[in-house]
Structure 1
Amino acid sequence: MTDVFQRNVRLFILRSIILSVYQGIYDVIFNLYILNMGFHEDFLGTMLAVSLLTSSIASVPAGILCDRFNKRKLMLIFTLLSFLSIVPLFLTSSPLVLLFFSAVGGLCGSVSAVCATPFLTENCEHDTVRVFSMNSAFSWMASIAGNAAGGAMPLLLLRLLPVAGQYRMTMLVALSLLLAGWSVLLFMKDGTGKPSSRKPFKIRFSPNLTKFTLISALMGVGTGAIVPYFNVYFTKVLGAGPSEIGIVFAATNALMVVGFAITPRLTSWLGKVRAASLTQMASIPFLVLMALSTNFMMGSFAYTSRMFLMNLGGPAVTSLQMEMIDPEERGFAIGFMSTVSGVVVAAATYASGLFMAQGNYLLPYVATCIAYILAAGLLYHFFKDSERSPDSAVAEQAQRYKLSA
Structure 2
Amino acid sequence: MVFYHNWAAQFSTYNRNIKLSFIANILAQIGLGVFMVIYNFYIRKLGYSEAVNGQVISMTSLATALILIPAGIISDRYSRKKVILYGVLISGIILLARSVVSGQQLLITLAFISGLAMAFLQVSGIPWLAENSTPEQRVNLFSLHFAFMTAANVVGSLLGGLLTDVFSYFVTDVNSIRLTLIIGAIIYTVAIIPTMKFQNPVRKSTEPKKSAKSFSWKNNGMKLIVLFAVAQILIGFGSGLVIPYLNLYFSDRFSASTTSIGFIISLGQAATAFAMFIGPWVVKKVGEVKAVVFLQLASLPFLLLTAYTNHLWIAALGFLFRQALMNAGNPIQMSLMMSKVNDSMKGLANSVNQMVFNLGWALMGPVSTGIVVQYGAYWGYAYVFTITATLYLIGSLYFFIVFKGISTKAEKSVTTTKIS
Deviations 1:228-255 (A, max 9, x none): 0000001001221111112112222222
Give the C-alpha shift of residue 333 in structure 1: 1.7
The secondary structure found in structure 2 opposite 1:145 is helix
Counterpart-to-counterpart distance in 1, 2:214 and 2:186: 40
Q: Is contact 1:41-1:353 (8 Å) kept? A: yes
Q: Is contact 1:238-1:299 (8 Å) kept? A: no
Q: Which amino acid aligns with 1:308?
A: A
Counterpart-to-counterpart distance in 1, 2:203 and 2:213: 16
Give the C-alpha shift of residue 190 in structure 1: 1.1
TM-score by length of 2: 0.89
Give the C-alpha shift of residue 201 in structure 1: 4.0
Give runs of aligned pairs for residues 98-117 of structure 1, distance below 5 A.
98-117=107-126
Q: Is contact 1:386-1:392 (8 Å) kept? A: no
Distance 1:202 1:88, change over 3 A: farther
Give runs of aligned pairs for residues 157-176 of structure 1, distance below 5 A.
157-176=167-186
Counterpart-to-counterpart distance in 2, 1:395 and 1:234: 50
CA-based RMSD: 2.4
Distance 1:122 1:266, change over 3 A: same
Q: Is contact 2:210-2:344 (8 Å) kept? A: no
Distance 1:198 1:306, change over 3 A: closer
Q: Is contact 2:33-2:184 (8 Å) kept? A: no
Deviations 1:16-59 (A, max 9, x none): 11112112212321111111111121110011101110111000
1:377 pairs with 367, 391, 397, which one?
397
Q: Is contact 1:53-1:343 (8 Å) kept? A: yes
Counterpart-to-counterpart distance in 1, 2:348 and 2:103: 36
Distance 1:393 1:65, change over 3 A: farther
Distance 1:396 1:217, change over 3 A: farther
Counterpart-to-counterpart distance in 1, 2:210 and 2:311: 60
Please state if 1:353 is matched with 2:369. yes
Name the counterpart of 1:276.
292
Name the counterpart of 1:403.
none
Name the counterpart of 1:259.
275
Q: Structure 2 regions of 5+ residues with no counterpart?
A: 1-9
Q: Is contact 2:35-2:180 (8 Å) kept? A: no
Please state if 1:214 is matched with 2:224. no
Q: Structure 1 regions of 5+ residues with no counterpart?
A: 400-405
Counterpart-to-counterpart distance in 2, 1:43 and 1:26: 17
Q: Is contact 1:122-1:191 (8 Å) kept? A: yes
Distance 1:240 1:325, change over 3 A: same
Q: Is contact 2:209-2:343 (8 Å) kept? A: no
TM-score by length of 1: 0.92
Give the C-alpha shift of residue 124 in structure 1: 1.5
Distance 1:255 1:337, change over 3 A: closer
Q: Which amino acid aligns with 2:322?
A: R
Q: Is contact 2:122-2:351 (8 Å) kept? A: no
Name the counterpart of 2:197.
187
Higher mean C-alpha displacement, 298-307 vs 256-265: 256-265
Name the counterpart of 2:147.
137
Please state if 1:39 is matched with 2:74. no
Q: Which amino acid aligns with 1:124?
A: S
Q: Is contact 1:4-1:189 (8 Å) kept? A: no
Distance 1:148 1:238, change over 3 A: same
Give the C-alpha shift of residue 198 in structure 1: 9.7
Counterpart-to-counterpart distance in 2, 1:256 and 1:330: 26
The secondary structure found in structure 1 opposite 2:226 is helix
Q: Is contact 1:41-1:356 (8 Å) kept? A: no
Counterpart-to-counterpart distance in 1, 2:121 and 2:130: 15
Q: Is contact 1:68-1:197 (8 Å) kept? A: no
Give the C-alpha shift of residue 203 in structure 1: 4.9
Q: Is contact 1:42-1:357 (8 Å) kept? A: no
Give the C-alpha shift of residue 361 in structure 1: 2.1
Deviations 1:284-329 (A, max 9, x none): 1111111111211111011001101111111100100111111111
Percent sequence identity is: 24
Higher mean C-alpha displacement, 118-127 vs 244-253: 244-253
Give the C-alpha shift of residue 191 in structure 1: 2.6
Counterpart-to-counterpart distance in 2, 1:283 and 1:72: 36
Give the C-alpha shift of residue 342 in structure 1: 2.1
Give runs of aligned pairs for residues 277-292 of structure 1, distance below 5 A.
277-292=293-308
Please state if 1:303 is matched with 2:319. yes
Counterpart-to-counterpart distance in 1, 2:416 and 2:382: 44
Name the counterpart of 1:317.
333
Q: Is contact 1:387-1:395 (8 Å) kept? A: no
Counterpart-to-counterpart distance in 2, 1:345 and 1:201: 32
Q: Is contact 1:133-1:264 (8 Å) kept? A: yes
Name the counterpart of 2:138.
128
Distance 1:254 1:2, change over 3 A: closer
Counterpart-to-counterpart distance in 2, 1:197 and 1:81: 29
Distance 1:79 1:194, change over 3 A: farther
Deviations 1:183-241 (A, max 9, x none): 21111111345999994445544221121010010011122110000000010012211
Name the counterpart of 1:83.
92
Q: Which amino acid aligns with 1:139?
A: M
Give the C-alpha shift of residue 354 in structure 1: 2.1
The secondary structure found in structure 2 opposite 1:189 is coil
Give runs of aligned pairs for residues 42-57 of structure 1, distance below 5 A.
42-57=51-66
